Chain A
Amino acid sequence: MTRWVLQLKLAPEASVRDLPGAAGQHEPGSYGGGDATWDIVADVLPTVDRPGIEVVDAVALAPVASQHVSLEGPRVKRTLLLGLKPGIPDDVRTSFEHSLTGMPLHIGAIRSWSLSRVDQALSPSRWTHVWEQEYESIDGLRVDYSRSSYHWAGVDRWFDTEMPDAIVENTFTHVFYVAERPVL
């Protein structure tokens, strides 16, 4: 079984409430992607046969590292879809992945998390990596995550378009929604 992350475009009357797995409309501040994210485990690319819901992006995940942290009640589930520039050497890619997986050690607001590569065989995609986290509240993402020096004076070097050694493409998808149950 494979874990999938899908981006959904929703008609005004459409609801994702009863989709299997977990799904939710994006909160303000999300960037790129669709109107909602659908997280689901399935053998093959899931389809939606409900009116008003269209899949606009889908990635199959090949796990790199993850950790589950118990958390009761609703949580904010955040997804970052990113693509590395072509031709990045394996050792640089590994350093980048280690930087990301170090974030939960430095940012206490990150609860469960998962870093994956995109399974290009199952889901050919412009994205190469999926970086997901859960937070107890929106402040965990908007405040703790963005204000951590490990983030802006460390990990961000891989993303900063003004840095000569940035390896992440300039476009990305950053989306988050409120999930009632654990996703990661």
Chain B
Amino acid sequence: MSRVAIIDRITLAEDRVESWLGRLDQEYRPTVEERGAMLVSSWRRHIDGETIELCLVWECPDIAAFWKVRSEARLDPRILEWWAATDDIAISRDRKVYGSS
């Protein structure tokens, strides 16, 4: 049974990082966990003196859980608004989905 990892990489101005992470914990993370995925690790790297790339690793226990995460996000305006607000301040953003190898 394949586990599924969803990896978000978001590049932000350094002075926006802590407030964005706070909102992540309060606004977005609970919606993901309601849908059946968990934030298993969170990483950061300094690109230069002014920007930071965050790397968030979410994990779904199986493929059925992944499709639940996906399909419920499509219908939840809170999630679309969250990413729209993030894209307003992000310098770049990327999401990739991986199966366990």
Q: Which residues of A contact B (CB under 8 A)?
A: 146-147, 149, 152-153, 156-157, 160-164, 170
Nearest opposing residue in chain B for A165, CB measure? B94
Query: Given A152-B4, A153-B97 in contact, is the A146-B63 Cβ separation under 8 Å?
Result: yes
Q: Which residues of A contact B61 (CB under 8 A)?
A: none
Q: State how many angstroms separate the Cβ of A152 from the closest Cβ of chain B.
A: 6
Instruction: List CB contacts (< 8 Å) of B45-96 with chain A.
Output: 63, 66-67, 70, 73-74, 79-80, 83, 87, 93-96
Q: Could you write out 26 A-B pairs with CB less than 8 Å apart?
A: A146-B67, A147-B63, A152-B4, A152-B66, A152-B67, A152-B70, A152-B97, A152-B99, A153-B4, A153-B99, A156-B97, A157-B96, A157-B97, A160-B73, A160-B95, A160-B97, A161-B73, A161-B79, A161-B80, A162-B70, A162-B73, A162-B79, A163-B95, A164-B94, A170-B74, A170-B80
Name the interface size band of chain B: 10 to 19
Is B2's CB within 8 Å of the partner chain A? yes
Nearest opposing residue in chain A for B2, CB measure? A149
Q: 5 closest A-B pairs (Cβ-Cβ)?
A: A149-B99, A163-B95, A153-B97, A164-B93, A161-B74
Q: State how many angstroms separate the Cβ of A166 from the closest Cβ of chain B.
A: 9
Query: Given A149-B2, A152-B4 in contact, is the A164-B87 Cβ separation under 8 Å?
Result: yes
Q: State how many angstroms separate the Cβ of B100 from the closest Cβ of chain A.
A: 10
Q: Which residues of B contact A170 (CB under 8 A)?
A: 74, 80
Q: State how many angstroms separate the Cβ of B91 from the closest Cβ of chain A.
A: 12
Q: When the two chains form their complex, are residues A164 and B4 in contact, meaning their CB atoms are under 8 A apart?
A: no
A146-B67, A149-B99, A152-B4 are known; give 20 further A-B pairs, CB within 8 A. Answer: A146-B63, A149-B2, A152-B63, A152-B67, A152-B97, A152-B99, A153-B98, A157-B95, A160-B73, A160-B97, A161-B73, A162-B70, A162-B79, A162-B83, A162-B95, A164-B83, A164-B87, A164-B93, A164-B94, A164-B95
